[in-house]
Amino acid sequence: MIVTVTLNPALDLTYPITHLVPHRTHRVSAVSERAGGKGLNVARVLHALGEPVLATGLLGGPTGAFVARLLDAEGVPSSFVPVAGETRRTVAVVDAADATGFWEPGPVVTTAEWSRFVDHFGRLIRGAPVVALCGSLPRGVPIDGYAHLTHLAAEAGVPVLLDTSGPALAHGLTAGPTVTKPNAAELADLLSAVAGAAPADPPSGVPHAEPADPSTGTTSAAEPSVPRSGLTSAAVRGLTSGAVVVTDGVAGLRAITPDAEFHCVPPRPVTGNPTGAGDACAAALARGMRDGTAWPALLADAVALGAAAVASPVAGAFDHTVYQDFRELGGIPC
> Could you list the residues that contact a copy of itself (CB under 8 A)?
13, 15, 17, 20-31, 62-63, 65-66, 69, 86, 89, 91, 93, 95, 97-105, 212-213
Output 27 or 123, the one with its CB closest to a copy of itself: 27
Roughly how many angstroms between the first and final C-alpha of the chain, as a whole number?
Answer: 33
Q: What angle do CA 15, 30, 271 make, to 5 degrees?
A: 60
Output 180 or 218, the one with its CB closest to a copy of itself: 218
CB atoms inside a 10 Å sphere around CB 188: 21
User: Closest approach of Cβ 241 to a copy of itself, in Å?
Assistant: 34
Output 17 or 329, the one with its CB closest to a copy of itself: 17
User: Closest approach of Cβ 257 to a copy of itself, in Å?
Assistant: 34
Q: CB–CB of 114/140 below 8 Å? A: yes
With the CA atoms of 292, 295, 297 and 298 taken in that order, what torsion angle do they form, in degrees rounded to the nearest 10? 70
With the CA atoms of 43, 176, 298 and 225 taken in that order, what torsion angle do they form, in degrees rounded to the nearest 10? 90
CB atoms inside a 10 Å sphere around CB 327: 15
User: Closest approach of Cβ 17 to a copy of itself, in Å?
Assistant: 7
Q: Radius of gyration (Cα) for the chain, nearest Å?
A: 19
Output 51 or 74, the one with its CB closest to a copy of itself: 74
Alpha-carbon distance of 172 to 206, in angstroms, equals 13
User: Closest approach of Cβ 84 to a copy of itself, in Å?
Assistant: 14
User: Closest approach of Cβ 216 to a copy of itself, in Å?
Assistant: 12
User: Closest approach of Cβ 19 to a copy of itself, in Å?
Assistant: 9
User: Closest approach of Cβ 211 to a copy of itself, in Å?
Assistant: 10
- DSSP category for residue 108: B
Per-residue burial over 119-140, b = 16 or more CB atoms within 10 Å of its CB, e = otherwise: ebbeebbeebbbbbbbbbbbeb
Q: Half-sphere exposure of residue 4, counting CA atoms within 13 Å on the CB side?
A: 34
User: Closest approach of Cβ 197 to a copy of itself, in Å?
Assistant: 27
Q: How far is CA 280 from CA 82, 96, 189, in A?
A: 26, 26, 23
Output 189 or 319, the one with its CB closest to a copy of itself: 189
Output 85 or 242, the one with its CB closest to a copy of itself: 85
Strands 332-333 and 261-265: antiparallel
Output 215 or 240, the one with its CB closest to a copy of itself: 215
Output 100 or 110, the one with its CB closest to a copy of itself: 100
Residue 162 DSSP SS3: strand
